[in-house]
Amino acid sequence: MKVFAPGKLILSGEHAVVYGKPALAMAVNRYVCAHVLDHGSPLISLDFADLSYQCNITPDALDTLINTIKNKYSSFKQGRFTIREVLQKPFELAQFALGLCLEMLNIKLSQGMHIHLTSTIPMGCGMGSSAATILSVMHAMANHAGVVVPPKKMYELGLQAENMQHGISSGLDLHVSLHGGCCYVKDNIISAKSMPTVPLYLVNTGTPQTSTGECVTKVAHHFKQSSIGDDFANVTEAMVSALHSDSLTGFKSSITANHDLLNKIGVVPEHVQGFIQKIHALGGAAKICGAGAVSGSTAGIVMVVIEDASLFTSLCDNYGYPILAVSGDVRGVYVDV
């Protein structure tokens, strides 16, 4: 059995969505895949191919792990830990998700299982790899145990796990990966929108030196001490209107305005700013699509909208940025037996 969970792009509303402001996001055809096989021993065997990490762990050991991580998260909320100290290794997120699934769904494994995890989603680059990892392993565990989990319950479990990674999760990444399609969220109500048909490209500027959780913590004062959240909200609404009227000009304008706001809160490194300015000079529009970075020179994925891709391929070559092929995903999480 293989479980596929798609990645996502936030088209508008990064950071602001954490504070209840509207956002627009879409699922894309890059996936975390959890391949599940029976295991002869009572152990859970984990193989994270992209991290070159393997381990064998018992359900009791997983239980101990999640309690340790929960205690660290409590210390984070009390200001005694940074969010990066809660999960210190990338594979701990998947382990926590598995352990939480066993605990909260009261799953008793009759035999061991082997989970081989692979991903085509760039890690830590703003495309929802954390949410996709959580959902793929949780669905794999539940399906392997023959437990039917309603989407709402799966979302709630996923949100608990993602908080360990991001500090405060808006839940948008999880919803988009779980259900697929294009989603608009406002006042904690999520509704479906039509997939954008604009000429959209992704450019990978490299994994940020700072995590999503660190960025969320660092920029919190902007949203608590000013009205910039309302500015983000206005940009998102403008983008929704542009897509509804099929206005490429309006869509590009809202991307540029969103970029300016992300720049204002300090999550667009100077090197990436220079790249985006050159895209604008070519008649396109561009912005980061995740949390960005509060230090270093890389910021994860940059979304580019431009009519003629040949206009910026040499620019990407000069910067050493690969262009990623991507299209929308309407299925969300799915199982391939």
In the prediction, which pLDDT does 52 show? 80
Q: Under 8 Å CB-to-CB from 297, ≥6 apart: which residues?
A: 206, 269, 270, 271, 272
Q: What is the pLDDT of residue 123?
A: 82
Instruction: Please report the pLDDT score of residue 203 as a whole number.
Output: 95
Closest CA to 60 of 96, 99, 113: 99
Q: Is residue 39 predicted with pLDDT exceeding 90? A: no
Structure confidence by residue, pLDDT tens digits, 151-191: 999 999 999 999 998 888 878 899 999 999 999 998 878 89
CB-count exposure of residue 18 (10 Å: 0-12, 13-18, 19+): buried
User: Residue 16 in 3-state DSSP?
Assistant: helix
- Looking at residue 126, its pLDDT comes to 80
pLDDT of residue 271: 97
Residue 307: CB atoms within 10 Å: 12
pLDDT in tens, 230-239: 999 999 999 9
Q: What confidence tier does 311 reach under pLDDT thresholds 50, 70, 90?
A: confident
Lowest mean pLDDT among 7-21, 40-54, 290-304: 40-54
Of the options 3.40.50.300, 3.30.930.10, 3.30.70.890, 3.30.450.20, the CATH number for the domain spanning 197-324: 3.30.70.890
Residue 276's nearest CA partner among 252, 302, 250, 248 is 302
Question: Considering the entire predicted model, what is its pTM?
Answer: 0.86
Closest CA to 31 of 114, 124, 128, 97: 128
Arithmetic mean of pLDDT, 82-87: 88
Beta strand 112-119 with 44-48 is parallel
Query: What band does 20 get if pLDDT is binned at 50, 70 and 90?
Result: confident
In this predicted structure, what is the pLDDT of residue 13? 92
Instruction: Indicate the domain borders of the chain.
Output: 2-190+328-336, 197-324
Strands in 301-305's sheet, in edge-to-edge order, are 285-288, 301-305, 200-204, 323-324
d(CA 152, CA 141): 17
Structure tokens at 33: 């895949």
pLDDT of residue 21: 92
Average pLDDT, the chain: 91
Share of the chain above pLDDT 90, in %: 67
pLDDT of residue 334: 95
What are the pLDDT digits (tens) for 88-136? 887 899 999 999 999 999 988 878 889 999 999 988 778 889 999 999 9
Q: Which single residue is written with the structure tokens 């991290």?
A: 51
Please state which architecture CATH assigns to domain 2-190+328-336: 2-Layer Sandwich (3.30)
